[in-house]
Structure 1
Amino acid sequence: MSAATLTESDFTKRDEPFSLFREWLEDAKASEINDPHAVALASVDADGLPDVRMVLMNGFDERGFTIFTNFESAKGREILASMKAAMCFHWKSLRRSVRVRGHVEVVSDDEADAYFATRPRGSQIGAWASKQSRALGSREELEEAVVAQTERFGEDTVPRPTYWSGFRLVPETIEFWHDRPFRLHDRVVFKKDGDRWATERLYP
């Protein structure tokens, strides 16, 4: 597939969007200076005001796009309230982006435990020490909490906190965007239609 265009065959030959996303993600892994898994995650608060932040996509397959987080954080509370979210990947080196919208499901405890076990020990300790999104009096307060949790667990395995788990964004639409001259960009959207995916081009 050419990096300069999104040809008709790139999507008309597919009956689902995941293979194309996988190809684009592999391209991004080879070309992005920073993390190709970085993604803007959008949710809404109780007043319907949109909220967006950069996170890391921790997993991807045909079920959807997975992130892990503190469920007591702002994004955790917002997503749990609506069980809907959106993502936008932007790979500047490739002049490509992918937008994903859909409903959200909570991953199983086994899946959350398995991912938590892969995290560096310092990140595991941090999950216990940080009251994510809540007011922090000083940096020293956070550092003291890290020390306290480090001493608490000693050499023992650090378990996953009950409030720390994963969300899977199950896509209803996935849009692929590629930069073209004079802002005449390529836009192709896959829309879930029952058990199948329908595709269409969009005006830029």
Structure 2
Amino acid sequence: MTTGRTEYTGEGLDERDLAPAPLAQVEKWLAAAHHRQAERGDVPEPTALSVATVDAAGMPDVRTVLMRFLDARGPGFVTDLGSAKSTQIRATGGIAASLTWPAMFRAVRFRGRAVEIGRDEIAAYFVSRPWGSRISAWASDQSRPVADRAALVAASARYAALYPDTGSPDDVPVPSSWGGWRVACDEVELWAGRRDRLHDRLVYVRTADPAAPALDDPGAWEVVRRQP
């Protein structure tokens, strides 16, 4: 049994300090996480995003990816479109995700509907990836069984030979099975840890047209404080 306790000594979050729309607030906290990592090194992956879906049996499923997109349309990540997460998303449409920075006693929760990211955006991001990461997108049939690591390494070697590193961003084409998803948010929650577990939970709740939940529009959201 774990007996140790950590006192949450965060700054908290007051309504008076909250940005009028979710995007600005999330960007502010994300910038602070990057700065903290640069200064202290205790936020090793500021964009690590836990993504939760539900499978065909109704069982929850969660995994951690990297948030590669963030704009008024919501946070987004890349994945194989045949992966378990993509299959579950297509079946239900629902998705939840969170950014967590324990060293800062902060977290952001997103809940809403998954929207597939357009091919132009995916292609633009794909060319920014290192050559090895582009090769792995071809080599891995994400979420499917594989005999052993040697089989995965062999697949990577085959594609490396097919698409050798020429130093050009176009030396590896984008696989048709590789894409991404964005969270069109209905809620964005900011969690800030405080002493004695009296944490702050301020939630932007969408009040505007669900077809266009713009994270930068103050008129599309109301703020609710929830008990910790």
Aligned counterpart, 1:89? 99
Once residues 186 and 78 of structure 2 are traced to their aligned partners in structure 1, the CA distance between those partners, rounded to angstroms, is 20
1:172-202 deviation per Cα after TM superposition (whole angstroms, max 9, x unaligned):
1001111111111111000000151011111
What amino acid is aligned across from residue 201 of structure 1 in structure 2? R
- Which of the pair is proportionally richer in strand? 1
Q: Secondary structure at the residue paired with 2:127?
A: helix
Contact 1:10/1:20 (<8 A) preserved: no
Q: Residues 16-27 of structure 1 correspond to what in structure 2 (within 5 A)?
A: 16-27=21-32
When structure 1 is superposed on structure 2, of 181-190 and 154-163 the one drifting more is 154-163
CA distance in 2, matches of 1:162, 1:23: 35
Of 162, 173, 179, 2:176 maps to: 162
Asked if the contact 1:59–1:65 (Cα under 8 Å) also holds between the matched residues in 2, the reply is yes
Report the residue type matching 2:161 in the other structure.
E
Q: Which residue of 2 aligns with 1:192?
A: 206
Alignment-derived partner of residue 121 in structure 1: 131
Asked if the contact 2:52/2:95 (under 8 Å) is kept, the reply is yes
Task: Kindly indicate whether the alpha-carbon contact (under 8 Å) linking 1:177 and 1:187 is maintained by their aligned counterparts in 2.
Answer: yes
> Counterpart of 1:53?
63
- Residues 116 and 160 of structure 1 are in contact (CA less than 8 Å); yes or no, is this contact kept in structure 2? yes
User: How far does the alpha carbon of each residue in 1:132-160 deviate from its partner, in whole angstroms, 9 at most, with x for none?
Assistant: 11111111111111111111123571111
1:7 aligns with 14
Structure 1 match to 2:111? 101
Q: Give identity over the alignment, percent.
A: 38
Shift of 1:163: 0.7
Structure-1 residue corresponding to 2:5:
none
**Would you identify which runs of 4 or more consecutive aligned residues in structure 1 move more than 4 Å?**
none
1:202 aligns with 2:216: no
Residue in structure 2 matched with residue 29 of structure 1 by the alignment: 34
Gaps of at least 5 residues in structure 2 are 1-9, 210-219
| Structure-2 separation of matches of 1:18 and 1:153 | 38
Count residues with an aligned counterpart.
200
Say whether the 8 Å CA contact 2:15–2:202 is kept in structure 1.
Answer: no
Note if 1:112 corresponds to 2:122: yes
Counterparts of 2:28 and 2:145, CA distance in 1:
41
Provide the rounded CA distance (Å) in 2 between the counterparts of 1:149 and 1:20: 42
Give secondary structure in 1 for the equivalent of 2:78.
strand
TM-score normalised over the length of structure 2: 0.84
Pairwise CA distance, 1:48: 1.3
Q: Once structures 1 and 2 are overlaid, which stretch shifts more, 93-102 or 151-160?
A: 151-160
Q: Hey, what's the Cα distance between the residues in 2 that align with 1:153 and 1:181?
A: 54
The CA deviation string for residues 51-102 of structure 1, in whole angstroms up to 9 with x for no partner, is 0001100010111001010011111111122222101111012100111000
CA contact (8 A) 2:146 2:152 kept: yes
Question: What is residue 80 of structure 1 aligned with on the other side?
Answer: 90
1:83-139, Cα deviation, whole Å (9 max, x unpaired): 221011110121001110001111111111101111111011111111111111111
Q: What is the identity, as a one-letter code, of the residue corresponding to 1:203?
A: Q
SS at 1:26's partner residue? helix
